[in-house]
Amino acid sequence: MILDLHHIQMAMPEGGEDAARAFYCGVLGLNEVAKPEALAGRGGVWFEGRNLRLHLGVETPFSPASKAHPAFRVADLAGLRYHFDAAGIETRPDVDLPGLRRLYVSDPFGNRIEICETV
């Protein structure tokens, strides 16, 4: 049986590692982790946060995920929205769900990301 979620895999275009680092480390505050040597030659970049692992792998041809998405839970949605605004990153509010406030952003490659706060 399933124990937990080990990681999320998302796609990125070839050569996008620096843009991924700028967004996922610089804006979202995740830490880059080294890919295993056996996979390093494939390109892409891996990140970890408090309770998550996110892998970005090169996909050719690349097409951003416009509907499928990860949802990252935060403690202060309003504060993060201000942070996104200051970084010039467009936020797209959506309807709140019971017990959940949320908005969407796109990573540098156009992948959809939900940011949510439990209330």
Contact 87/41 with Cβ under 8 angstroms? no
In the chain, the percentage of residues whose pLDDT exceeds 70 is 100
Band (pLDDT 50/70/90 cuts) for residue 118 is very high
Taking domain 8-118, whether its CATH number is 3.10.180.10 is answered by yes
- Whole-model pTM? 0.92
pLDDT in tens, 61-98: 999 999 999 999 999 999 999 999 999 999 999 998 99
The residue ranges of every structural domain in the chain are: 8-118
User: What pLDDT is recorded for position 58?
Assistant: 97
Contacts of 98 (CB under 8 A, 6+ apart): none
